[in-house]
A and B are shown apart, each in its own frame.
Chain A
Amino acid sequence: MAETMGLVQDVSATPSRVPPIVQVDDLHVRFVSKDATVYAVNGVSFTLDPGEVLCILGESGSGKSVTLRALMRLLPRKRAVINGRVIVDGHDILSLSTSALSRVRGEIVSMIFQEPMTALDPVYSIGEQITETVRRHEKIGRAAAEARALELLELVQIPSAKRRLKAFPHELSGGLRQRAMIAIALSCRPRVLLADEPTTALDATVQIQILLLLRQLQKELGMSVIFVTHDLGVAGEIADRITVMYGGRFVEEGPTTAVMRDPLHPYTRGLLASTVHGQMHRERLRTIEGSPPNMEMLPAACSFAPRCRYAVDRCLEGVPDLHRPFPNRSARCIRLEEIGSMT
């Protein structure tokens, strides 16, 4: 185990040499409507290295999907206000023109979604949905694009790929649909793949297949992947690095094995304690008391404090900074050391 630890840390130590492919600085997203303003993302910063798999872990409403969408500005223009800086492969996403942005989407960064049932256009065949993407980004003819589509379906291991090109989404099972979705996302060999809970809507057995496929494709194509999930097991399976999101902020970040084995932030501890794992036979699962914060009025304090059993008055005095007790590890909690010595 110590060896794997070292290995993981070595991998995450490389970034200093290679420039990151994704760089996010102080990202803020809020949704403005007549009745309310929802502060979905409140100062997120991170980098992603070429070939790295980062997992954003969090419960519903923590801002993880919004963060992901902000990376390709895929948020409703009228309602979403995005601030900060997002650089993907040298493109300043937030200041690109609409047409320049549409060039980056699909070609440099692409996304797969949670619900393969609803994320595919029901009235176009799988083949058409792939070829139109290819032909949008590359100057190739219809026949070449169709050949590429077939290759892609084979790449994502869809059986009888040739026949499936003509299939419509409703004619495929959930797993095959998600594979088709992946094929579409990969159709222009993007450098960064964003995955928004791509396995959540699938059966457990299919989940594993899709995860393994994604990991294999990531290795083969050398893509960087940002994977959003609320499922710790999924995160442990696929990620090099995990970041935990709560109340629109990253509250903990670190190499997967380290975070899973030795969580720093009280919220991450709570998450791990409330998850089923190997040795827990007949043990009672612990839940995190209380409910997630109201994103319409976040206090200028630690947003987890109201649910935290280690919370003291000091926790309410301001948003905690990121503390870095170890190399490559960070957590947004002012009592890290005290809590560490308590357990």
Chain B
Amino acid sequence: MANYILRRLLYAIPIAIGVTVICFSLIYLGPSDPIAAVMPDEASAADVQRIREAYGFDKPVPVQYALWLMRAVQGDFGNSLQSNRPVLDELIPALQNTLRLAVFAAALSFAIAVVVGSVAAYSQGTWLDKTVTSFAITGVSVPHYWVAIMLVIVFAVELGWLPAMGMGTGSSRDWAWDAEHMKALILPVISLSLIPAGIITRTTRASVLEVLSHDYVETLRAKGLSEATVLRHVLKNASPTVLAVTGLQFGHLLGGSILIETVFVWPGTGFLLNESIFKRDLPVLQGTILVLAMFFVFVNLTVDIMQTWLDPRIKRD
């Protein structure tokens, strides 16, 4: 087991390196020269050259990469071209804000999807199954920002129960676990849960159905186990697939939804990415993408390790 985890960690290294290369290359993939973007149009060629040297853009590309990477691993992603503050200062609060949404949305969609998906599988072919499946498809296909706007109209504008936007009083850095802030979470979390809930429901339904078709379920019943115990066996067998999909969805949620965070004016990573793209703030963009990609790698690693713990056949190389 320890061996397997170590091997998985080693596999993660080349992936991480690849991610840094891609993030670094963003500078050169962009449609315009980043220096030109920050310099006023009337700046002299000498001034542009001076800034170019100050930011190290005059050095060969591999050297630039090495220097950037060395700073990046120490948490120094440079300064925002826009605010001139360290990228990390912008990134950390945004990440925290998105994490609050992502954790709740992932938990909510996972909890609903596992129950509803299992019920659908157990009642395969009935109206219940068909209802669940059509809701799941609707959840995936309906534009979630539209649902978000509808939720705002109903619950914020018409009923006035919940705030329409923002994350409660205070600045984006003042979060507290009180009723007021929690209320602000509800609508964005529901909107964000739609797609993952739909996808995980369908995965759960399919995996549970697949497990139910196996001979060993008959053995479990032949042993006289209660249906609850049989269900426990079925879910454990279905869990590796469901977890893998949930992990991917959680990864997506961590990236923050540009659309949902825009609708709710939620200052998370999606919001930050959107802003830095429009303002050509490359250091912020690079740093954010790099950190999010690393999170993604980490989440997948965690899922992989959890799978070996749930299904002993996986670690057999």
Identify the A interface with B (CB < 8 A).
Answer: 72, 74, 98-99, 102-107, 110-111, 113, 115, 118-125, 132-133, 136-137, 168, 170, 181, 184-185, 187
A123→B236 contact, CB < 8 A: yes
Query: Given A104, A118, A119, A124, which contacts B224 in the complex, CB threshold below 8 Å?
Result: A104
User: In the complex, which residues of chain B have a beta carbon less than 8 angstroms from the beta carbon of A184?
Assistant: 219, 223
User: In the complex, which residues of chain A have a beta carbon less than 8 angstroms from the beta carbon of B219?
Assistant: 111, 113, 119-121, 181, 184
The 0/1 profile, CB within 8 Å of A marked 1, for residues 214-229 of chain B is 1110111111111101
B225→A136 contact, CB < 8 A: yes
- The smallest C-beta distance from B221 to any residue of chain A, in angstroms, reads 6
B222→A105 contact, CB < 8 A: yes
A115 to B221, CA, bound (A): 16
A106→B233 contact, CB < 8 A: no
User: In the complex, which residues of chain B have a beta carbon less than 8 angstroms from the beta carbon of A170?
Assistant: 312-313, 316
A106→B216 contact, CB < 8 A: no
Q: Which of B224, B236, B237, B312 has the most chain A CB within a 10 Å cutoff?
A: B224
28 A-B contact pairs sorted by A residue (CB < 8 Å): A72-B222, A74-B221, A98-B227, A102-B226, A103-B224, A105-B221, A105-B222, A105-B223, A106-B223, A106-B225, A115-B215, A119-B219, A120-B216, A120-B219, A121-B216, A122-B216, A122-B313, A123-B236, A123-B312, A124-B233, A132-B225, A132-B229, A133-B224, A133-B225, A136-B223, A136-B225, A170-B316, A185-B223
With A122-B312, A132-B229, A168-B312 known, 13 other A-B pairs at CB within 8 A are A74-B222, A118-B215, A118-B216, A120-B216, A121-B233, A121-B237, A122-B216, A122-B237, A124-B236, A133-B225, A136-B223, A168-B313, A181-B219
- The smallest C-beta distance from A50 to any residue of chain B, in angstroms, reads 21
User: In the complex, which residues of chain A have a beta carbon less than 8 angstroms from the beta carbon of B316?
Assistant: 170
A221 to B312, CA, bound (A): 34
Identify the B interface with A (CB < 8 A).
Answer: 214-216, 218-227, 229, 233, 236-237, 310-313, 316
- The smallest C-beta distance from A190 to any residue of chain B, in angstroms, reads 10
Q: Which 9 pairs from chain A and chain B are nearest by CB?
A: A106-B224, A105-B224, A118-B215, A106-B223, A133-B223, A168-B312, A102-B224, A111-B222, A121-B216
- The smallest C-beta distance from B243 to any residue of chain A, in angstroms, reads 13
Which single residue of chain B is at the shortest CB-CB distance from A73?
Answer: B221
User: In the complex, which residues of chain A have a beta carbon less than 8 angstroms from the beta carbon of B229?
Assistant: 132, 136
Which single residue of chain B is at the shortest CB-CB distance from A137?
Answer: B224
User: In the complex, which residues of chain A have a beta carbon less than 8 angstroms from the beta carbon of B218?
Assistant: 74, 113, 119
Q: Which of A99, A123, A168, A170 has the most chain B CB within a 10 Å cutoff?
A: A123
Which single residue of chain B is at the shortest CB-CB distance from A74?
Answer: B222
Query: Given B221, B224, B227, B311, which contacts A122 in the complex, CB threshold below 8 Å?
Result: B311
A107 to B223, CA, bound (A): 8
User: In the complex, which residues of chain B have a beta carbon less than 8 angstroms from the beta carbon of A113?
Assistant: 215, 218-219
A69 to B130, CA, bound (A): 30
User: DSSP majority for the B interface?
Assistant: helix
- The smallest C-beta distance from B207 to any residue of chain A, in angstroms, reads 13
User: In the complex, which residues of chain A have a beta carbon less than 8 angstroms from the beta carbon of B222?
Assistant: 72, 74, 105-106, 110-111, 185
Which single residue of chain A is at the shortest CB-CB distance from B215?
Answer: A118
A119→B216 contact, CB < 8 A: yes
Q: Which of B216, B312, B313, B316 has the most chain A CB within a 10 Å cutoff?
A: B216
- The smallest C-beta distance from B58 to any residue of chain A, in angstroms, reads 58
A107 to B225, CA, bound (A): 11
A107→B224 contact, CB < 8 A: yes
User: In the complex, which residues of chain B have a beta carbon less than 8 angstroms from the beta carbon of A133?
Assistant: 223-225
User: In the complex, which residues of chain A have a beta carbon less than 8 angstroms from the beta carbon of B221?
Assistant: 74, 102, 105
- The smallest C-beta distance from B215 to any residue of chain A, in angstroms, reads 4
A93 to B218, CA, bound (A): 17
User: In the complex, which residues of chain A have a beta carbon less than 8 angstroms from the beta carbon of B214?
Assistant: 118
Which single residue of chain A is at the shortest CB-CB distance from B311?
Answer: A123
Which single residue of chain A is at the shortest CB-CB distance from B236?
Answer: A123
Q: Which of A105, A119, A125 has the most chain B CB within a 10 Å cutoff?
A: A119
- The smallest C-beta distance from A168 to any residue of chain B, in angstroms, reads 5
A118 to B214, CA, bound (A): 7
A125 to B313, CA, bound (A): 11
A106 to B230, CA, bound (A): 14
B310→A123 contact, CB < 8 A: yes
User: In the complex, which residues of chain B have a beta carbon less than 8 angstroms from the beta carbon of A120?
Assistant: 216, 219
A281 to B225, CA, bound (A): 50
Query: Given B216, B223, B226, B227, which contacts A110 in the complex, CB threshold below 8 Å?
Result: B223
User: In the complex, which residues of chain A have a beta carbon less than 8 angstroms from the beta carbon of B312?
Assistant: 122-123, 125, 168, 170
User: In the complex, which residues of chain A have a beta carbon less than 8 angstroms from the beta carbon of B237?
Assistant: 121-123
User: In the complex, which residues of chain A have a beta carbon less than 8 angstroms from the beta carbon of B311?
Assistant: 122-123
A168 to B309, CA, bound (A): 13
User: In the complex, which residues of chain B have a beta carbon less than 8 angstroms from the beta carbon of A168?
Assistant: 312-313
A136→B226 contact, CB < 8 A: yes
- The smallest C-beta distance from A163 to any residue of chain B, in angstroms, reads 15
A113 to B312, CA, bound (A): 23
User: In the complex, which residues of chain A have a beta carbon less than 8 angstroms from the beta carbon of B313?
Assistant: 122-123, 168, 170
A102→B225 contact, CB < 8 A: yes
Query: Given A118, A121, A122, A137, which contacts B220 in the complex, CB threshold below 8 Å?
Result: A121
User: In the complex, which residues of chain B have a beta carbon less than 8 angstroms from the beta carbon of A110?
Assistant: 222-224
User: In the complex, which residues of chain B have a beta carbon less than 8 angstroms from the beta carbon of A125?
Assistant: 312
User: In the complex, which residues of chain A have a beta carbon less than 8 angstroms from the beta carbon of B216?
Assistant: 118-122
Q: A103-B224, A105-B221, A170-B316 are in contact. Are A119 and B215 (CB under 8 A)?
A: yes
User: In the complex, which residues of chain A have a beta carbon less than 8 angstroms from the beta carbon of B223?
Assistant: 105-106, 110, 132-133, 136, 184-185, 187
User: In the complex, which residues of chain A have a beta carbon less than 8 angstroms from the beta carbon of B225?
Assistant: 102, 106, 132-133, 136
User: In the complex, which residues of chain A have a beta carbon less than 8 angstroms from the beta carbon of B215?
Assistant: 113, 115, 118-119
A98 to B230, CA, bound (A): 14
Which single residue of chain B is at the shortest CB-CB distance from A103?
Answer: B224
A118 to B211, CA, bound (A): 11
Which single residue of chain A is at the shortest CB-CB distance from B216?
Answer: A121
Which single residue of chain A is at the shortest CB-CB distance from B123?
Answer: A78
